[in-house]
């Protein structure tokens, strides 16, 4: 059964789920011509409040992707934030949410590629999305035979629906071969990322992650962790190329991303990572991350946007 939600925000207004439809001839439907974000909102039990995590940073990335695509988003940042809040409130969520603002190209003639020739619309989806079992237990992975989209062909830096054809091919292959999540190498044969998350590993107590020039999405979670683990856990972070065989000998490894959160990697190509279960450093990073996103660390409260503004606390009292 596919996920659904009570409402969708579509081109300026809330519409019931069943009525959130789009013509089959739009560029968005035909060619995946869109740019989107996946953002989480975290529920604080202590405060009875829901917090958007780094909403502004995600919208800044949405605009970067749109710029590369030469797409003009017809809403301001304030309008997109207001729309996201309106949708999440209308859906009545009081628990973890994953929401997706999507800017899309509408219908055009065959080569109507210029922004002046084709309308851009926007919709936002918001789902109740609790943390998965995989985040707690870790996953099995493999190195995909598919290479990550090259910056010279279909830039991974742009979070466009069309890029996820690449992710999908890798995912399916991994699943058919009995693994949970693939790791994609880039065209140069170096580790890039997962199909929907960035990659980090631990070697000799240091965190190592591919640079943003390795054909990866410039992940907000990756950037957040690079800062947090150095500042709060005193761990060194090195951004450098990673060889395939390093995957087989690293001490710990995990995916990071808004959707996948921090998902420990238990094995790669049947080689156990460390002891074949989530490692101690990964667990410490998870704890820190979840404390921060739920508002438990005052220093980082500026990354959070409250959804209910105390309304649900009042309702609970």
Ligand X SMILES: Cc1ncc(COP(=O)(O)O)c(C=O)c1O
Judged by the rule CB under 6 A, the positions of this chain that interact with ligand X are 38, 193, 196-198, 217, 219-222, 257-259
Between 147 and 277, CB nearer to ligand X: 147
CB atoms within 10 A of CB 203: 15
Name the token pair of 146. Answer: 């598919």
Q: CB of residue 193 vs ligand X: minimum separation in angstroms?
A: 5
Between 43 and 99, CB nearer to ligand X: 99
Between 209 and 258, CB nearer to ligand X: 258
128: region left, alpha or beta (phi > 0 left; psi from -120 to 50 alpha)? beta
Between 44 and 64, CB nearer to ligand X: 64
Between 219 and 312, CB nearer to ligand X: 219
Q: CB of residue 89 vs ligand X: minimum separation in angstroms?
A: 23
Q: CB of residue 314 vs ligand X: minimum separation in angstroms?
A: 32
Between 50 and 217, CB nearer to ligand X: 217
Q: CB of residue 254 vs ligand X: minimum separation in angstroms?
A: 12
Under 8 Å between Cβ of 206 and 235: yes
Q: CB of residue 258 vs ligand X: minimum separation in angstroms?
A: 3
Q: CB of residue 267 vs ligand X: minimum separation in angstroms?
A: 21
Between 126 and 197, CB nearer to ligand X: 197
Between 257 and 295, CB nearer to ligand X: 257
- List the one residue out of 123, 137, 87, 118 whose CA is nearest residue 264: 137
CB atoms within 10 A of CB 138: 24
Q: CB of residue 290 vs ligand X: minimum separation in angstroms?
A: 15
Q: CB of residue 250 vs ligand X: minimum separation in angstroms?
A: 19
According to the 3-state scheme, what is the secondary structure of the chain?
CCCCCCEEEECCEEEEHHHCCCCCCCHHHHHCCEEECCEEEEEECCCCEEEEECHHHHHHHHHHHHHHCCCCCCCCHHHHHHHHHHHHHHHCCCCCEEEEEEEEECCCCCCCCCHHHCCEEEEEEEEECCCCHHHHHCEEEEEEEEECCCCCCCCCCCCCHHHHHHHHHHHHHHHHCCCCEEEEECCCCCEEECCCCEEEEEECCEEEECCCCCCCCCCHHHHHHHHHHHHHHCCCEEECCCCCCHHHHCCEEEEEECCCEEEEEEEECCEECCCCCCCHHHHHHHHHHHHHHCCCCHHHHHHEEECCCCHHHHHHC
Between 49 and 215, CB nearer to ligand X: 215
Bridge-based pairing state of the strands 261-268 and 139-147: parallel
Q: CB of residue 192 vs ligand X: minimum separation in angstroms?
A: 9
């Amino acid at each position: 059964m596919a996920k659904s939600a009570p409402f969708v925000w579509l081109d300026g207004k809330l519409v019931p789920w069943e009525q959130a439809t789009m013509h089959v001839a739009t560029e968005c439907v035909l060619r995946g011509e869109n740019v989107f974000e996946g953002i989480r909102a975290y529920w604080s039990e202590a405060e009875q409040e829901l917090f958007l995590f780094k909403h502004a940073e995600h919208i800044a990335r949405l605009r970067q992707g749109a710029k590369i695509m030469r797409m003009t988003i017809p809403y301001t940042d304030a309008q997109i934030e207001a729309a996201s809040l309106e949708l999440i409130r209308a859906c009545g969520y009081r628990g973890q949410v994953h929401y997706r603002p999507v800017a899309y190209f509408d219908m055009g003639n065959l080569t109507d590629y210029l922004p002046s020739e084709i309308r851009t619309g926007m919709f936002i989806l918001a789902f109740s999305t609790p943390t998965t079992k995989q985040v707690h237990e870790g996953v099995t992975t493999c190195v995909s035979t598919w290479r990550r989209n090259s910056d010279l062909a279909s830039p991974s830096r742009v979070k466009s629906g069309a890029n996820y054809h690449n992710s999908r091919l890798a995912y399916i292959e991994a699943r058919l071969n009995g693994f949970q999540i693939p790791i994609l190498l880039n065209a140069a044969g170096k580790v890039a990322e997962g199909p929907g998350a960035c990659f980090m590993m631990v070697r000799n107590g240091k965190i190592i992650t591919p640079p943003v020039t390795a054909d990866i999405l410039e992940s907000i979670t990756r950037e957040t962790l690079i800062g947090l683990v150095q500042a709060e856990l005193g761990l060194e972070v090195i951004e450098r190329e990673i060889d395939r065989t390093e995957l087989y000998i690293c001490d710990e490894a995990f995916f990071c991303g808004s959707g996948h959160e921090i998902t420990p990697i238990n094995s790669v190509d049947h080689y156990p990572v460390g002891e074949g279960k989530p490692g101690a450093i990964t667990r410490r990073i998870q704890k820190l991350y979840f404390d921060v996103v739920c508002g438990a660390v005052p220093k980082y409260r500026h990354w959070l946007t409250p959804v209910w503004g105390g309304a649900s606390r009042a309702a609970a009292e």
